[in-house]
Structure 1
Amino acid sequence: MAGLRPALAPLVAALAHRHGLDTEDLEQSVWLRACERAAAGRLPADTRSWLRSLALRECRRLTRTADRERLLAERAERPAPAPSAEAELLAERGRQALWASVGALPGRCPGLLAALADAPGLTYGDLAGLLGIPRGSIGPTRSRCLSCLRTLLHGLRT
């Protein structure tokens, strides 16, 4: 199979150039697939023709992948559309309902959830010092508070 590389190189270079692919990437992909098939003991008798068709298949596959990546990059570069006035109003009402529900929670829940929302990077040690509660109780308290908040918010939706 090593002797086939010089014969296949012009085809790979032409395909890569025509489809805007990197020649080395296409060649590596073709030889990787060929080696996988050779390792499995499934090389066809007419290896030269098979390698040519493999190069074409790999070119199509890499082109599809490059197209998808290009489309995703273009979408990421586009600015998000400005929300409509109605969407902004609904979002604000949702925030108000959320914080009203947080304020209605029992015990230390409003303070803990507000601290978590205001400074999400705080460690449990920082929160313990800020709120004056034991470090080990922050996780369970947070879990109970969020469960109560879910219950309150679910009651608002129904």
Structure 2
Amino acid sequence: MIPVAELRAELVPFVAVLARGCGVDAEDLEQSVWLGAVERARVGGLPARPGAWLRGLAVRTALAARERAVETPVPVVTQRHLGPAEQLARTELHRAVRRALAALPGRCPALLAALAQSPELSYRQLSERLGVPRGSLGPTRSRCLGCLRALLAARSADWAAD
């Protein structure tokens, strides 16, 4: 049997340093690493040196999270008067996003609204505001955004078919 408490005691400080260096949340990173370990154990078992494998998984996961977090610069749009067609398209887009947000399951609408309204909140503050465990915020946010993308993509496909 693998000594999970010993592995965690070794992994947590490593993940904290790694997360700080990559600019990601340490708790989200740790949770992702353990999820990867559970998936690996279920499929083919853990390797002979699970500690080294977990550290490698932590590094790969942190780097992937950092790449996802890098924002693409948004071009500066000069203010100009929108024509009727552009106003209609913008209004329809806003309406579609609001409908998709309302159609999301569970806590997704509240979580995404809180993130949009107060992006400066830390996960601790967001957890207290929403009454959800802090460690579930990152994975829940990812799932919610995935659902939102799927709903908007389906809506976009409907528009294209019209």
Compute the TM-score of the two structures, normalised by the length of structure 2. Answer: 0.47
Larger radius of gyration, structure 1 or 2? 1
Q: Name the TM-score, length of structure 1 as normaliser.
A: 0.48
Q: Which has the higher contact order (CA 8 A, sep 6+)?
A: 2
